Amino acid sequence: MALDERGIYLAEVNRKYPRSFQTLGYDSLMDVDSMYKPKMISTFEMCVNSILTLLFMKPGQYPSIPELGIDIESYLHEYSDDPTVPQKIKNALNDQCNRIEVTGIEIDCKIDKTDEGVDALILTITGNDRLCYGNETNTVLIGISYDKLNRLYIRKHNI
């Protein structure tokens, strides 16, 4: 059997991310790690990916849960006009995370300015110690704004 055809075993994942600490389980990516095995991510990374998905989804994309989705692009031009937008987004994210049972994280939302003076939404996602076991960090910053060509721009940074 060639090295790149070999799958990953649950015992290998459990060494890195103990099952009892991963309340939502594991996820594999369409990528391979340094040993050419399917790349696995922890529950905390799954939570961050779920939040990004919720931010970009438009309500109605999932017919069975039509209210799921924030449609962040619709808020981006309201930052400077409405100081309540970060709280609205935070409340909507918390509500939707509860609905899809994403737990063990804290979300904070604020507005900041980029180096070019453009308003940007800054999300801080912090996971509890149990959720982040095996990760390098327990906090992720996500910045969302428009670039110079007026396209949606996202930057994710582990703290």
Range of the domain at 33: 3-158
- Per the structure, the count of domains in the chain is 1
The letter for the amino acid at 125 is: I
Task: Round the average pLDDT of the chain to a whole number and report it.
Answer: 79
Listed residue (14, 15, 22) closest to 42, CA to CA: 22
Q: Over the stretch 75-125, which tens digit does the pLDDT of each residue have?
A: 877 766 788 889 999 999 999 988 888 888 999 999 888 888 888 889 999
pTM value is 0.75
The per-residue pLDDT for 3 is 43
pLDDT band, very low/low/confident/very high, at 70 (cuts 50, 70, 90): very high
Dihedrals φ, ψ of 146, to 5°?
Answer: -105, 145
Identify whether the C-beta of residue 123 lies closer than 8 Å to the C-beta of residue 107.
Answer: yes
- For the cut 60, the answer to whether the pLDDT of residue 4 exceeds it is no
pLDDT band, very low/low/confident/very high, at 130 (cuts 50, 70, 90): confident
What is the rounded average pLDDT of the residues 64-70? 89
